[in-house]
Structure 1
Amino acid sequence: MKLIMRADDLGFSEAVNLGIYKAVKEGVITSVGMMTNMEHANHGYELVKDFDIALGQHTNICAGRPLTDPKLIPSLVQENGEFCSSREIRSRKEDTVVIEEAEMEIEAQYLRFKEITGKDPDYFECHAVISQNFFIALRNVAKKYGLFYENVLFDQEFEKENNIYGIAMAKLNEQMLYDPKEYIENSLEFIRNHDVSVMVFHPGYLDQYILTHSSFTLIRAMECDFLCSSWLKDWLKEYQIELTDFRKVKNA
């Protein structure tokens, strides 16, 4: 009965980086995904690099600017050269992500990850966009470089093949918030019924960039506080749930 506590969005902003740092240092986060195309990716890495965590690539095609020349990836960008927003992508009736274009940007973000960290990511997954073409492109790049492609929640074949299962994210209310204690307690049966489970969080603090570029605002600070809480640590001990990370389970 093992549990991976995954934090997404390292690099999104300085405030998000600081919240993730706290959730790693004082909380229960075991795996962190970095958005290497974002301006504050290096800052985020410097904050967490010395902790014993799995560090993954949180591949991003819907926030900020691409690392690839926008002219080469027209299906992914707006006229100003920035990525199309996740909200705009989700509103499309068809999957318009061009696989070859996505592969170019995914590979560029992977190479930036290696430039920043000096190593391969411990796992390789995606940010916000639910697109089968995007998933195919991720798998292709992962296979090319021998990386551990992880897609809990959206790929049942991955879950069965790797015996790693994602716990559905909490349903949010009108304020884009939820009760984290209730969410955790309702997940207990799922955790008990699977050898390895994954819970995904977005801890962080808030700055102007996040307030204007993300639908996740107050939820980040709330999750950061909860992930560091004595209540959660005691709950994990009470039910003898072992925390783990992707490094330890991907070859199990």
Structure 2
Amino acid sequence: MKLIVNADDFGYTRAVSYGIVDAYQTGIVSSTTMMCNVDDLEHPVQLAEQNPTLGVGIHLVLTSGSPVSENVPSLVDGNGQFFRYDEFLKNIQSLESEEIEREWTSQIERFFSTGLKPTHLDSHHHVHARKEIRPIAVQLAKKYGIPLRRVNRETSSGGIYGPVKTTDVLFTDFYKDNVSIDMFETLLLKSVEKVQTVEINCHPGYVDEALVKKSSYVYQRLKEFTVLTSPELKKRIQQLNIDLITYRDI
């Protein structure tokens, strides 16, 4: 089995970005996805350039910070900020598809402007998994010819991806109270000898003041980092003959 361990939120804050890179250099993280609507995009870009074998994709955003493009009124609150996740769900029926596509295109183009080549697309809070938004993500993946994170853990996608590459399975269970070596191994054992490619997404990181101000998921990132860099987990992966890959390899 081939495994992608993708750290979401690259670029969210400097501490998060440093933690992701260290989890790659000393642990089992093989891939990450960059938030392209952040103010300091130069920092994660520099880290990506310094670690060329780290897979770096695009973490499409609709629920954090402000948009890259202009005139997307259905996507923002009265302060011009993206809706927080709870408010986003309340307003999802009133979001304009054209504005989502234009905003995500702007985020993708900003990534390309750095000179990096994205490995794949996924999204903050998995918003591309919503049935109202998923066709937009699939269409953009087709347009740019890059893989897309699948939206569920089933091995059958019902043909929704067409020619777009994705893994056979995605697990999102390694989160909050389920962050442990045993949980990670449980997810692996569900898939070994059953499917060819699996993604487990995660959120390792260090903590800084910016993270405390912006996120409700703060010190749990340190716990994830500890698990993902533990020698015991690396040993278990080796014992299961699992190959760590990126989306470049699917």
Q: TM-score, normalized by length of structure 2?
A: 0.88
SS in 2 for 1:40: coil
SS in 2 for 1:37: coil
The question of whether the paired residues in 2 share the 8 Å contact of 1:54 and 1:246 is answered with yes
Map 1:1-252 onto structure 2 (within 5 A). Answer: 1-51=1-51, 52-69=53-70, 72-90=71-89, 92=90, 95-116=93-114, 118-128=115-125, 129=127, 130-153=129-152, 156-157=157-158, 162=165, 164-170=167-173, 176-192=176-192, 193-249=194-250
CA RMSD in angstroms comes to 2.2
SS in 2 for 1:177: helix
SS in 1 for 2:133: helix
Query: For 2:162 and 2:183, how far apart are their aligned partners in 1?
Result: 24
The question of whether the paired residues in 2 share the 8 Å contact of 1:152 and 1:164 is answered with no
SS in 2 for 1:182: helix
Number of equivalences:
242
The alpha-carbon distance between structure 1 residues 132 and 96, as it changes in their structure 2 partners (threshold 3 A), is farther
> Per-residue deviation at 1:40?
2.9
Query: For 2:92 and 2:25, how far apart are their aligned partners in 1?
Result: 42
Where structure 1 has 5 or more consecutive residues not aligned to the other structure, the ranges are: none
> Per-residue deviation at 1:195?
0.7
> Per-residue deviation at 1:3?
0.8
> Per-residue deviation at 1:245?
1.1
Query: For 1:211 and 1:79, how far apart are their aligned partners in 2?
Result: 23
> Per-residue deviation at 1:7?
0.7
The alpha-carbon distance between structure 1 residues 29 and 106, as it changes in their structure 2 partners (threshold 3 A), is same
The alpha-carbon distance between structure 1 residues 141 and 188, as it changes in their structure 2 partners (threshold 3 A), is closer
Q: Please give the per-residue CA displacement for 1:86-133, whole angstroms capped at 9, x wherever unaligned.
A: 12213x2753322100011101101110112x1431111211124323
> Per-residue deviation at 1:60?
0.7
Query: For 1:207 and 1:101, how far apart are their aligned partners in 2?
Result: 33
Of all paired residues, the percent bearing the same amino acid is: 28
Query: For 2:83 and 2:100, how far apart are their aligned partners in 1?
Result: 13
The question of whether the paired residues in 2 share the 8 Å contact of 1:177 and 1:218 is answered with no
The question of whether the paired residues in 2 share the 8 Å contact of 1:7 and 1:203 is answered with yes
SS in 2 for 1:38: coil
> Per-residue deviation at 1:142?
2.5
> Per-residue deviation at 1:159?
7.8
